[in-house]
Chain A
Amino acid sequence: MPIGAVIEFTSITKKFGQVTAVNDLSFTVEPGRVTGFLGPNGAGKTTTLRMLLGLVAPTSGTATFGGLRYRDLPRPLHTVGAALEAASFHPGRTAAHHLGVYAIAAGLPRTRVTEVLHTVGLADHATQRVGGYSLGMRQRLGLAYSLLGDPGVLVLDEPINGLDPEGIKWIRGFLSSMAAEGRTVLVSSHLLSEVQQSVDDVIIIAKGELVHSGPLSSLDTNIAPQVIVDSPNRDALIAALTEAGLPFTSGRTGLIVAVPDPGLVGHVAFTAGVELNVLHRQKAGLEDSFLALVEGGDSL
C-alpha cells in the first residue's frame, strides 16, 4: 500500500517577465485527504502545479514531496502521479503505446499499461490512435498516465474538464477512494461546485496569492447569512426597511436583507404595518463564499 507524502510549498514565486503568476505562496497538502486547489482562470494554479513537478523553475521558493524536490525523487512515477490540463500526446501513437513509452522510461512492467487503461475505462480503445480521441477520452488517458506507477501522491490539474456526468461521478468516487487508502490527492479546479462533493480541504488562490486554506467546512463561516423577505406591497416594504436603516438589495425572489436575524426584519415590517408573504433566512452557499474570497481576483 503506497503511503502518501506531504506536499509542501514554501514561499514559492514565479514571474514570467513582468507578470507575477504566483506570489509567495505557502501551504501544505496532507495525505489521506482530497485537497481542492481552487482559483479563477489565470489565478496561477497550473503554474503552481508545474513548479511542484519540476516543469517550471520557480523564481524563488521551493515545493517538495516529503521534503524532496520532484527531480530528486529516486523513482518519480512510483511516488507522484500527475495529469496536467494540456493534452500531451502524439496524435499518431495509440493509447497503449503512449503509456508504454513512459512505463519503459520509469522501469514499470508493461502489465501496468493494461491495468490503468482498464481503471480509467479506456480498455476498449487501447489500440486506437490518440489523435482520434475525444476530449473526455484524452482526459482519462492523462489520468491513466498519472496512475502508471501506483503512486502515493496524485496531482491533477482540472481533471473533471470534459468528462461526461458518469465520468464526473466516477472520478469523484475514485479520488475519495484514493485518499481513503492513505494517498495524497491534490486536485485543481476553477469551480468549487465541481469538486465540492469530494474535497476535504480547500486551498484558494487568486491573482497568484493565497486567500484561504483549511477544511471545506471553514468556507461556511466566511459569509454571514442573509434574510429574504417580500411583500405584496413591495414599495411599502422598501420604505419600511429604509426607515429602519437595514441594508438590502433587490433579488429575484424578494429583497435580500444583509442581517442574520429574520425576527428583526419581521419586527420592522410588523411595526410599519406591512404584510409579508416571504420571510426566511438564507445561508450563503459555499460557492458564494468562494466567489467572495476570490472577488476582484479575476485576472481575466
Chain B
Amino acid sequence: MNLILRPVAAEFSKILTTRMWWILALVLFGYITLLAGGLAALFGGLESGAISPDAVNTGGGSGSLTGLGSLPPLIYSFASSVGYVFPVLLGALATTGEFRHQTLTPTFLATPKRGRVLGAKTIALFVVGAALGVVGLAASVGVGALVLSSFGVDPLLADGETWALIGRTVLAMALWAVIGVGLGVLVPSQVASIVIVLAFTQFVEPLLRFAATFTEVTADIGKFLPGAASDALVGASFFTLTSPGSAVLTSWQGGLVLLAYGLVAAVGGYFISWKRDVT
C-alpha cells in the first residue's frame, strides 16, 4: 500500500508547497462569485419583478428562462461550467512544471517506477480538483443562494436534487484536473499547454459546441466534446439552457466521457513524454 500512498502523499506535498493552488483557488472564487452573484441578482431581480424585463434586452429569452424554475441550479452550475478551466490549469501546471524545472530527476530517483508516479499525480490532482470544485461551489452556491434569497427566490437548498448537483459538480471538477494532468504529459511544454487550455476552453470548444448544434449529425458528435460531457454530468448549465434542442449525454455518460478524456491523455502522454530519457 505504501508503494502508491507515498508517491500520492509526495504529489500532494508538491502542490501544497508552491503558491499556484491557492492563487488559482482565489481567482476561481472571485470569478465565480462575480458571475454567479451578478446573474443571480439579474435573474432574481427579473423573477421577483424588482427589475422590469424591459430594462434588460434579453431577446425574449428571459421569460422562458426564468419561467423554467431552474434558476438556482443554473446559477450553481457556474462552479464547473465556467470554473472548469481552473482544475485543468492546475493539473497541466503540475505535470509541465516537472519538465520545466527538471524536477523529474529527483522525482524519478525517489520513485523509479514512472507509471506509479503518474498514477499518483493523477490521484492527487483528482482530489485537489475536487477541492477546487468545493471552492467554486462555495462561490456559486454560497453567494448565489444568498443573492437569490435576498430577492425572495427560493434557493432550493432543501432540495435533494440541488445537493446531487453539488456532488456531480465536485466530481466534474476532479475529472477536469485529471484531464489537465493528461494534457500536461501530452504537451510537456508549459507555455504550449497553457495556451491550449485557454484557447480550447475559452474559444475553440464554445464555438465548436455552438456550430455542432446546426445539424443533427454534428450535434451527435458535439455532445462528446469535453465541455458538453461535463455539462451533461453536472446536469445543468448556461450553455445547454441557451442551446435548447441540442443533443446531450446522460449524466453518467458525461462522467465516463470526461474520465475517458483524462485517462486516454494520461496514457498517451506516458508514452510520448513521461517514459522518455530525462537528460
- Using C-beta atoms within 8 Å of the partner chain, give the interface range for chain A: 35 or more
Give the contacting residue for A102; candidates B10, B97, B101, B277; CB below 8 A: B10
In the assembled complex, the CB of A92 is this many whole angstroms from the nearest CB of chain B, namely: 5
Task: Tell yes or no: A87 within 8 A of B by CB.
Answer: yes
Known: A56-B277, A86-B102, A87-B102. A97 touches B17 (CB 8 A): yes
B17 touches A73 (CB 8 A): no
User: Among residues 88 to 114 in chain B, which have CB atoms less than 8 Å away from a CB atom of chain A?
Assistant: 97, 101-113
A-B contacts, 23 of them at CB < 8 A, read A50-B277, A50-B278, A54-B108, A54-B112, A55-B109, A55-B277, A57-B277, A82-B109, A84-B105, A88-B101, A88-B102, A88-B105, A88-B106, A90-B14, A92-B20, A97-B13, A100-B17, A104-B6, A104-B10, A105-B6, A105-B7, A107-B2, A145-B106
A101 touches B105 (CB 8 A): no
B101 touches A71 (CB 8 A): no
Task: Tell yes or no: B9 within 8 A of A by CB.
Answer: yes
**Interface 0/1 of B14-30, CB less than 8 Å to A:** 10011110000000000
Total residue contacts A-B, CB cutoff 8 A: 86
A56 touches B111 (CB 8 A): no
| B-chain residues with CB within 8 Å of residue A107 when the two chains form the complex | 2, 6
Interchain CA distance A100-B6 in the complex, whole Å: 12
Task: Tell yes or no: A94 within 8 A of B by CB.
Answer: yes
A86 touches B112 (CB 8 A): no
Give the contacting residue for A92; candidates B18, B106, B109, B277; CB below 8 A: B18
Task: Tell yes or no: A77 within 8 A of B by CB.
Answer: yes
Task: Tell yes or no: A133 within 8 A of B by CB.
Answer: no
**Interface 0/1 of A62-98, CB less than 8 Å to B:** 0000000011010011001010101111111110011
Interchain CA distance A68-B10 in the complex, whole Å: 25
B112 touches A76 (CB 8 A): yes
Interchain CA distance A189-B13 in the complex, whole Å: 34
Interchain CA distance A25-B11 in the complex, whole Å: 36
A101 touches B14 (CB 8 A): yes
Q: Is the interface of B mostly helix, strand, loop or mixed?
A: helix
| A-chain residues with CB within 8 Å of residue B102 when the two chains form the complex | 86-88
A105 touches B105 (CB 8 A): no
Task: Tell yes or no: A156 within 8 A of B by CB.
Answer: no
| B-chain residues with CB within 8 Å of residue A57 when the two chains form the complex | 277
| A-chain residues with CB within 8 Å of residue B279 when the two chains form the complex | 46-47, 50, 55-56
- B: number of interface residues (CB 8 Å): 28
| A residues neighboring B (CB under 8 Å) | 46-47, 50, 53-57, 70-71, 73, 76-77, 80, 82, 84, 86-94, 97-98, 100-102, 104-107, 145
Interchain CA distance A48-B178 in the complex, whole Å: 35
Known: A101-B10, A105-B10. A90 touches B110 (CB 8 A): no
Of all chain B residues, the one with the shortest Cβ separation from A84 is B105
> 16 new A-B pairs (CB below 8 Å) besides A87-B102, A100-B13, A145-B106?
A46-B279, A53-B109, A55-B109, A56-B278, A57-B277, A86-B105, A88-B101, A88-B105, A92-B18, A94-B17, A100-B17, A102-B10, A102-B109, A104-B6, A105-B110, A106-B110
| A-chain residues with CB within 8 Å of residue B109 when the two chains form the complex | 53, 55, 76-77, 80, 82, 102
Q: Which of A56, A105, A107, A145 has the most CB of B within 10 A?
A: A105
| B-chain residues with CB within 8 Å of residue A56 when the two chains form the complex | 277-279
Of all chain A residues, the one with the shortest Cβ separation from B15 is A101
Interchain CA distance A93-B94 in the complex, whole Å: 13
Interchain CA distance A263-B272 in the complex, whole Å: 69
The 6 closest A-B CB pairs, nearest first, are A105-B10, A97-B17, A71-B112, A105-B110, A55-B278, A88-B102
Interchain CA distance A13-B257 in the complex, whole Å: 44
Interchain CA distance A98-B107 in the complex, whole Å: 11
| A-chain residues with CB within 8 Å of residue B7 when the two chains form the complex | 105
Of all chain B residues, the one with the shortest Cβ separation from A86 is B102
Interchain CA distance A71-B112 in the complex, whole Å: 5
| B-chain residues with CB within 8 Å of residue A87 when the two chains form the complex | 102
| B-chain residues with CB within 8 Å of residue A55 when the two chains form the complex | 105, 108-109, 277-279
Of all chain B residues, the one with the shortest Cβ separation from A71 is B112
| B-chain residues with CB within 8 Å of residue A76 when the two chains form the complex | 109-112
Interchain CA distance A122-B14 in the complex, whole Å: 21
| B-chain residues with CB within 8 Å of residue A101 when the two chains form the complex | 10, 13-14, 17
